[in-house]
Chain A
Amino acid sequence: MTSPASPSVTRNVPDRLQSSFTRGVRSWEMLLLVVLVLVFSANSFASPYFLNVWNLSDATFNFTEKAMIAFAMAMLIIAGEIDLSVASIIALASTAMGLAMTAGADTPMIVAAGIATGVACGAVNGVFVAGFGLPSIVVTIGTMSLFRGISFIILGDQAYTNYPKSLAFFGQGYVYWVFSFELLLFVLAAIAFYILLHRTSFGRSVYAIGNNATAAQFAGLRVVRIRFILFLLTGLMSGIAAVCLTSRLGSTRPSIATGMELEIVTMVVLGGVNILGGSGRILGVVLAALIMGCVTFGFGLLNVPGIVMSIFLGLLLISVIAIPRLLAHKFKRA
């Protein structure tokens, strides 16, 4: 979406000239870690209620669902695509869960309905973007309207509320002591996506496509299929997030998760993923998720209204991209 005439984008080209230690210290992840420690300590000074295991455990719900989607979104953005329909997929998947419940399905079937709807939505995006070669930003703006629109058609101004008690485990259950089921899912998803992106040939091909899709095609990568799989994965993670969110809230309204796509894209970009594709790491996204969770929770304890938090997130999104670029400019001139 930017003009190619603007300053050329630095790509994350592997180079062995620096020792792995200096690279580690200078990396984006290190910066995020410092920010995380700062935010964390600022919060513990600002409110006496922050350093409480149960409060911190509650705080994880601020980011677990978003982060699960953010991992898949990170891969999609690294491959040079984007999916703005994720929050609408949650709405439609949650509506499907409600429909399944009304039809008398038991908990496993309700969960299956949510996840299957997520995957189906991902497939729709994938068919249009990968299959027909349409720009992902317009397609997913379209499906963002379409998916939530279908929820509105089904539900109107109504809501599904009478979910079975056993469904509550997914969003409210604890596996061990203060560790919630959602936190476990978050950790598992982080590990799975870390392996997929950084330790498999599939992950390498995602970077290749993001850097130069034509070259990747000529190198024999199945670009269309990989793009399609990435949209499926994003749909799958949105479906899982929909199950968690529905279970946590215990209800479905068509307006559920409105605006969440913004927070997810912010998380991914804050995590150091290049919005133009080609570079980024899962560890960065994990740290970004923790920072955003910490900030939201800290602001919440200080009674800061949600919309002020979103101003902060907007500023954060712009400044994390702007500051390194402005600094790079300055050093070039000096």
Chain B
Amino acid sequence: MTRLFKSREALLALVIVLMTALIAWRFPAFIAPANLASVFNDTAPLMILALGQMIVILTKCIDLSVTATLALAGMAAALMNGAGVPLPVILLAVVVLGAVLGAVNGLLVWKVGIPSIVVTLGTMTIYRGVIFLLTDGKWVNAHEMTDGFKALPRAVLVGLPVMSWIAVVLIAVFAVVLNRTSLGRAFFAVGGNPHAAVYAGINVGRTQFAAFVISGALAGLAGYLWIARYAVAYVDVASGFELNVIAACVIGGISIAGGVGSVSGVILGAIFLGVIANALPVIGISPFWQMAISGSAIIIAVAFNASQSRVKGRIILKQADA
């Protein structure tokens, strides 16, 4: 019981509930089930991206190129749609394209040994640049997309839009994979103690590569969802959103040093940001506050994370040159 109260997820959930209650006290319509569902739906792309980012951060890396991948895959989806490619093929293609873009990051980290922050800082501009090369900077607007293409994320199934269901399914899959499979545990092992991971027979580089591929594939899928939902594709789609993705992870208790975090934490972190984003217009605060609020949330969260994890184990065996 005390463990539950001390857990960061419980604390974060409490903060979210209090925040929502505070908003509902002045604006009861905010907690109408339909509105809560729409908050969840709005946050779905953030959750999907944050799940991918989470496993990358677990392995001591970082992926700054997620939203560039999202934008490139989304533009590819829009262009394929314009060329008359059927929707199932498009869906498959965006996931594969995202995975390939993630694999480029992963290979540079794994085989060439470049720090992930440098790799993804570079690929983030390259991927966006490629969109420009593909389109000459032109936009793909709503009237150039077919109705079926735009309708899928909004189609309602058992009370929730498809986009929400995709997020729900992915959360479930991640919870199982991270806790119940050897690949999932490898992500934690690689970040928690790379030397120990090597001795345990885990290939550190390959695990990091896998994390980048998964993160890329999710970004690709999110790319289609994003473009189809907002019904417009251009070079700067979701530009700067990667900071929100990292913020969701940090707020959710993922340690940037790797090896620490949970799916529920990340999802709560994303919901925290989602509630704020949706509440600002309701309580009449200019949306221009959003950026400063998420910045402060990141700093507070990382300070809190650090104070929670002061006691650390010591490495007794030194460098394993395996």
Interface residues of A (CB under 8 A from B): 1-8, 82, 128, 132-135, 137-139, 141-150, 152-153, 156, 254, 259, 262, 265-266, 269, 275-276, 305, 307-308, 310-311, 313-315, 317-318, 321-322, 325-326
Contact = CB atoms under 8 A, between A and B. Distances in A.
A145 B294 contact: yes
A63 B289 CA distance: 32
Question: Lowest 6 A-B CB distances belong to which pairs?
Answer: A149-B292, A145-B295, A146-B295, A311-B129, A149-B291, A142-B298
Contacts of A82: 117
Contacts of A133: 306
A6 B113 contact: yes
Interface stretch (B32-40, B219-227, B243-251): B243-251
Interface of B is mostly: helix
Contacts of B59: 3
B60 interface: yes
B306 A145 contact: no
Given A1-B117, A148-B291, A314 B123 contact: yes
A259 B117 CA distance: 15
Interface stretch (B9-17, B74-82, B190-198, B263-271): B190-198
A193 to B, nearest CB: 22
A128 B112 contact: no
A307 B243 contact: no
28 contacts: A1-B115, A1-B117, A2-B109, A3-B190, A3-B205, A5-B195, A5-B204, A132-B303, A132-B306, A135-B257, A141-B247, A142-B297, A142-B302, A143-B299, A145-B243, A146-B295, A156-B286, A262-B125, A265-B121, A269-B118, A305-B132, A307-B137, A317-B118, A318-B126, A322-B112, A325-B112, A325-B113, A325-B114
Interface of B: 59-62, 108-109, 112-119, 121-126, 128-130, 132-133, 137, 190, 194-195, 197-198, 204-205, 208, 235, 243, 246-247, 250, 256-257, 286, 288-299, 302-303, 306, 319-322
Contact of B133 (A156, A308, A314, A326): A308
Contact of B208 (A3, A144, A325): A3
A274 to B, nearest CB: 10
A147 B243 CA distance: 14
Contacts of A3: 59-60, 190, 194, 204-205, 208
Contact of B292 (A135, A145, A318): A145
Given A152-B288, A305-B137, A1 B132 contact: no
Nearest to A6: B113
Contact of A317 (B122, B286, B299): B122
A82 B321 CA distance: 27
Given A1-B61, A144-B295, A307-B129, A149 B243 contact: no
Contacts of A313: 125
Contacts of A276: 115
Given A138-B298, A146-B295, A152-B291, A314 B122 contact: yes
A321 B295 contact: no
Contacts, number: 171
B286 A275 contact: no
Contacts of A4: 194-195, 319
A82 B306 CA distance: 18
A317 B62 CA distance: 17
B60 A142 contact: no
A318 B115 contact: no
Contacts of B298: 138, 141-142, 145
B322 A150 contact: no
Given A137-B256, A145-B294, A145-B295, A308 B204 contact: no
Contact of B132 (A307, A314, A321): A307
Nearest to B288: A152
Given A144-B243, A146-B292, A147-B295, A137 B121 contact: no
A133 B233 CA distance: 41
Contacts of B114: 2, 318, 321-322, 325
A142 B113 CA distance: 27
Given A307-B137, A321-B114, 13 more contacts: A2-B115, A3-B204, A5-B198, A134-B302, A135-B302, A137-B256, A141-B243, A141-B247, A144-B243, A149-B290, A153-B288, A156-B286, A322-B112
Contacts of B113: 2, 6-7, 325
Contacts of A139: 299, 302
A132 B129 CA distance: 38
Contacts of B299: 128, 139, 142-143, 146
Contact of B125 (A1, A138, A314, A321): A314
A7 B112 CA distance: 9
Contacts of A141: 243, 246-247, 298
Contacts of B122: 266, 314-315, 317-318
B118 A149 contact: no
Nearest to B193: A4
A237 to B, nearest CB: 20
